[in-house]
Amino acid sequence: MINNNVVITSYKNKILCIYQNDMNIEDVCVYPNELNHLNSVFIGKVKNIVKNINAAFVEINPGLTCFLSLDESKYFKILNRKCDNNELKQGDELVVQLIKGAVKSKLPVCSARLRLPKDDIKNILSKAPSRTVFSVLYSASPEYLQFFKRIDMHDVMKITVDSNEVYGEVAGYLDAFLSDKKDILQLYTDDYSLSKLYKIDSLIAQLTDRIVWLKSGGNIVIDYTEAMTVIDVNSAKAINKKDADFIYNLNVEACNEAFRQIRMRNLSGMILIDFINDTDEYTDKLIEYVKKMCETDCVTLRFIDITGLKIVELTRNKVNAPIYEML
């Protein structure tokens, strides 16, 4: 019987989600473990305004400052003073929604335009005047619950969590959206941690290592730059006769692993893959295989072109920060 299960645990102050398909880990995501979930709505306080970048810096919790564009002035709902022209001042208290988390050195981003159903907005704005600064007017679902939309839940037989809080949040989500799966949720209480049971340190080491070895003896090397991710395919220790069939099969093996790494590392933006050079016939066949692999990704992944040097160009939408950034 196929043993498909989902594991949710904490790792280095983050939330780690794993999808295991018949004993093989097929997908991994790391999410921020924050009380301030994306899409939540707060009463923030303007710390300062920087006109030359047309932005304000708004504190939504003590010590947590967000970037707010002044282009959104028509949406400003200022609570602590009358304002006819919606021009912000230092010390203003206003309703904002957290729309983007911090990335590297960049601050989180908030917005005065609420991206919620009309009824929710009406309720938020009606209670806002009676609340104090830093109040949470609307608490969005934790970001990690999006993992259930990322994978095929049809064949999942078990969901294991090791936190009472996470258990409650997952139970609520399943009850609302996947009621047929609510009975497979389990709270893990054994002294032997889930991190040790699933060898998470080893898994993360593999997903942050530069070199990934293939069963054939070949490898792929993954390098990150500010502009793109580059994946280089090498025959390395492969000792079979290196004819056209062998090279094609090695490229296909490398392609499968490259797409697995892209998904599990959550890579995005421009991705270049330098396969081993082959005949034109086998190169065309490989490109068709690459295009089919693009269609299997849970995130939009597009084949763009193959260059004159036979380097494959892909782009992948950004949904979450890659694992190497998160950790």
Question: Is 131 domain-assigned?
Answer: yes
Name the domain boundary from 96, 119, 138.
138
CB 89 within 8 A of CB 46: yes
Residue at 204 is within a domain: no
Residues 152 and 216 in one domain: no
Return the pLDDT at 35.
62
168 lies in the same domain as 260: no
Q: Is residue 226 situated within a structural domain?
A: yes
CATH number at residue 54: 2.40.50.140
In whole angstroms, give the CA distance from residue 36 to residue 138: 10
* Cα 17 to chain centroid, rounded: 11
Residues of the chain with pLDDT under 50: 1
What pLDDT is attached to residue 100?
87
Give Cα 163 distance to the centre of its chain.
21
Q: What is the pLDDT of residues 196-216, one digit of tens each?
A: 999 999 999 999 999 999 999
Q: 234 and 131 in one domain? A: no
Residue 70's Cβ-count burial label (10 Å; 0-12, 13-18, 19+) is middle
Range of the domain at 234: 209-326
Q: Which of 138, 168, 183 is the last residue of a domain?
A: 138
63 within some domain? yes
pTM, 2 dp: 0.77
- Domain co-membership, 320 together with 189: no
194 and 218 co-located in one domain = no
**Is 26 in the same domain as 149?**
yes
Domain boundary among 180, 199, 218: 199
Q: Name the nearest CA neighbour of 274 among 215, 221, 315, 226.
A: 221
Instruction: Say if residue 279 is exposed, middle or buried (CB neighbours under 10 Å; 0-12, 13-18, 19+).
Output: exposed
Q: What is the DSSP letter of 80?
A: S
Q: Identify whether residues 95 and 221 lie together within a single domain.
A: no
CB atoms within 10 A of CB 183: 9
Please give the Cα distance from 242 to 204 (Å, whole number): 33
For the chain, state the CA radius of gyration: 24
Residues 6+ apart with CB under 8 A from 236: 213, 217, 218, 219
How many domains are there within the chain? 3
DSSP state of 40: -
Q: Are residues 248 and 312 in the same domain?
A: yes
Largest CA distance in the chain: 80
Q: Are residues 312 and 246 in the same domain?
A: yes
15 domain-assigned: yes
Q: Per DSSP, which regions of 174-284 are E strands?
A: 185-187, 211-213, 219-224, 228-234, 269-274
pLDDT number for residue 2: 59
DSSP 103: B
> Rounded to an integer, what distance in angstroms lies between the CA atom of residue 186 and that of residue 19?
15
233 lies in the same domain as 304: yes
State whether 20 and 55 are in the same domain: no
Rounded distance between C-alpha atoms, residue 157 and residue 153, angstroms: 9
Q: Which pair of tokens denotes residue 137?
A: 């007017």
Could you tell me if 231 and 256 lie in one domain?
A: yes
pLDDT for 241: 66
CATH of the domain at 160: 3.30.420
